[in-house]
Amino acid sequence: MPKSSTIERMKRLDLISARLKSEEALTVFGLSEEFGVSSRTLTRDIQILRDQGLPIEADRGRGGGIRLHRTWGIGRVNFSYSEAIDLLVSLAIAEQMKSPFFMAELAPIRRKLLASFSPRLKGEISDIKSRILVGAAASHMVLSAFSEPRQPVVEVLHQAFVTRQHLEISYTSIEGRTTRRTIEPHYLLLHSPVWYVLAFDHLRQDIRTFRCDRIERAKIQETRFSVIGIDQFETTLKDLDIIAP
């Protein structure tokens, strides 16, 4: 094929691709008329785009309606590292909760996401998942006093949990007394929809459990901590129905 013809075809392929992505109603005949080529040439162009990975559907017949498959955009979403971690952890929580709905494809989705990570990052994600526990649904008594956690607190707690950094918090107890604490957020526990932090409390010099919706303020500290084994929280968890990840 002459060079000029090759360049023309490349330009035409780009234009056809752009038109398809615009989701206009298109036909083979209409596009062939628009670009001044035969329907046969246009059909060959479409096959080239298919070979390049564009999922094009075409109707048979002279009219030849063509379109991108409705799922063409899936797989093209780019996640940041923190977004991918959040999604993987969310999938792990959903699997642990053993809901009968929307569960069939979770394992394949998780495998596909993990396949894009290096061995080191896979290890980090596995560590984070192992620090999230799921128990039974919250009791009616707990729910009666439950409110949504403050979003700024959630964001800071999330970062401190993932990066293993100390957290300074203002915490209001069930009696309404507010204290300032410096904690190490070792584990997160979900009694749906209530989240708890299983932490080492420097004020009490002991392990304590904090309900996330009672944390008034949170500030991350530069100092880091090493995660202690879940067995150290045995007394805290012995009466709870926990499913380990």
Residues 6+ apart with CB under 8 A from 94: 102, 103, 106
> What does pTM read for this prediction?
0.62
214 or 66: which leads in pLDDT:
214
Please tell me the distance from the alpha carbon of residue 166 to that of residue 36, in angstroms, as a whole number. 67
Q: Which residues pair with 184 in a beta bridge?
A: 200
- Checking if the pLDDT of 98 tops 60, the result is yes
Report, as an integer, the average pLDDT of 30-55.
Answer: 85
Please tell me the distance from the alpha carbon of residue 127 to that of residue 117, in angstroms, as a whole number. 14
* Whole-number CA gyration radius for the chain: 27
Q: Would you place residue 243 in the very low, low, confident or very high pLDDT band (cuts 50, 70, 90)?
A: very low
Coil, helix or strand at residue 32: helix
- Checking if the pLDDT of 219 tops 80, the result is yes
Of residues 68, 71, 60, the one with CA closest to residue 28: 60
Kindly report the backbone phi and psi dihedral angles of residue 92, in degrees, each rounded to the nearest multiple of 5, phi listed first. Answer: -65, -40
Please tell me the distance from the alpha carbon of residue 117 to that of residue 16, in angstroms, as a whole number. 34
Please write the tens of the pLDDT for every residue from 113-143: 776 666 777 777 788 888 988 888 888 888 8
Q: Tell me the residue type at 234.
A: E
Mean pLDDT of the chain: 80
pLDDT at 105: 63
Domain boundaries defined on the chain: 3-68, 81-130, 140-237
Report, as an integer, the average pLDDT of 159-175.
Answer: 93
pLDDT at 228: 92
Out of 3.90.550, 1.10.1060, 2.30.30, 1.10.287, the CATH code matching 140-237 is 2.30.30
Ramachandran bin of 94, using left for φ above 0, alpha for ψ from -120 to 50, beta for the remaining angles: alpha
Q: Would you place residue 200 in the very low, low, confident or very high pLDDT band (cuts 50, 70, 90)?
A: very high
pLDDT at 172: 94
Out of 3.30.420.40, 3.40.1390.10, 3.40.50.280, 1.10.10.10, the CATH code matching 3-68 is 1.10.10.10
